[in-house]
Amino acid sequence: MVKIKIDGPYDFDRVLQRLSIDPLMVINQNERAVKVPIYQGETPIVVKVKATGTKQKPSFQLTSSAELTDKEVYHIKSIFQWDKPLHDIADHFATTDLKNIFQEHEGTPLVLDFDLYHCLMKCIIHQQVNMKFAHTLTQRFVHTFGFEKEGVWFYPKPADVAKLDYEQITELKMSRRKAEYIIDTSKLIADGELPLYDLRLKTDEEILKELVKVRGIGPWTVQNLLLFGLGRPNLFPIADIGIQNALKKLKGLDQKPTHLQMQEWSKDWEPYLSYASLYLWRSIEPQAEELVK
């Protein structure tokens, strides 16, 4: 068992509430725990992350049937962004028009997808479909081509997806074009033509420039990968409908704000635009009483 303490505020219960929207997540709300599928070298392992502290004094236990090394512990810390003090970010927004939202959702961190390839596949699958159906499609994809261990589902690896036929994807009720994006992108990663995990070393601008060359990957997909795959702190996807709706509600508008308005408002939120995005999304998502059944 590995025990970890971090600076508060950090609301792990809100983390679990947000994660519970994804049907692939294995969560125990009463135990305040989530099981995370990761790799130890080439071996798949499951790490149980359990909250043992409070929002103001957060602490956690990591347990696994495997003996955890510093590498796996670092990976878990990165996923849950335990090295990013949220009080500094909250202080920044205390003087902005997002003050009330940040107070209401105090201690909500930017939690990453469990793996960068998983994140990219999710982003592609989620393109141009509503959130509920997007999660259904992703679940079908993982249940069909991935594998289960200790009750937790692992995404398939790029090399496995690269061997699929397009028809195997379209049978899951995805379009032929989306099937091509999924398989062709996976081939580029498996063949080393798209060194996905080296992107961590590049700037946001360099990553955008490189990835939009890939068929099926546009700015929206890259921004989501930067946010939820790499945890970059200063991203504001103005084309995102959720953010537009949140700002419409916040500002009491009759219609969605223009991109120009959003760009102007967001100047006060830098250099933490990613957190502005997260808290705006959070402000219109189902809340605890709607998610906990």
DSSP 127-146: TTS-HHHHHHHHHHHHHHHS
Closest CA to 17 of 245, 284, 286: 286
Confidence grade of residue 286 (pLDDT, cut at 50, 70, 90): low
C-alpha separations of 233 from 74, 174, 240 in Å: 19, 32, 17
If pLDDT is split at 50, 70 and 90, which confidence band does 291 have? very low
**177 in Cβ contact with 170 (< 8 Å):** no
What per-residue confidence (pLDDT) applies to 93? 97
Beta strands in 6-58 (DSSP E): 26-28, 33-40, 43-51
* Joined tokens for residue 232: 């970059």
Predicted pLDDT at 289: 41
Q: Are 16 and 43 in contact (CB under 8 A)?
A: no
Burial class (CB in 10 A: 0-12, 13-18, 19+), 234: middle
Q: What is the chain's mean pLDDT, rounded?
A: 94
Token duo for residue 260: 């120009």
* pLDDT for position 288: 45
Q: Is 240 a catalytic residue?
A: yes
Model pLDDT, residue 130: 86
Q: pLDDT tens for residues 42-91?
A: 999 999 999 999 999 999 999 999 999 999 999 999 999 999 999 999 99
Confidence of residue 287 (pLDDT cuts 50, 70, 90): low
Mean pLDDT, residues 196-218? 95
Is residue 293's pLDDT more than 60? no
**What pLDDT digit, counting tens, does each position of 243-282 carry?**
999 999 999 999 999 999 999 999 999 999 999 999 999 9
* Mean pLDDT along residues 154-175: 97
Quote the CA–CA distance of 127 and 266 in Å, as a whole number.
25
Share of the chain above pLDDT 70, in %: 97
As a residue count, the chain comes to: 293
- DSSP per-residue letters across 196-228: GGGGGGS-HHHHHHHHTTSTT--HHHHHHHHHH
**What mean pLDDT comes out for the span 138-166?**
97
Structural domains of the chain ordered from first start: 2-83 (3.30.310.10), 85-111+231-293 (1.10.1670.40), 116-228 (1.10.340.30)
Amino acid (1-letter code) at residue 123 = C
Instruction: Return the beta strands (E) in 41-120 as ranges.
Output: 43-51, 59-64
Q: What per-residue confidence (pLDDT) applies to 220?
A: 87
Catalytic site residue from 184, 240, 254, 268: 240
Confidence of residue 239 (pLDDT cuts 50, 70, 90): confident
Q: Which H/E stretch holds residue 3? A: strand 2-5
Closest CA relative to residue 57, chosen from 2, 5, 106, 109: 5
Percent of the chain with pLDDT over 90: 90
Q: How many CB atoms lie within 10 A of CB 67?
A: 8
> How many CB atoms are located within 10 Å of the residue 122 CB?
25
Q: Is the pTM of this model over 0.85?
A: yes
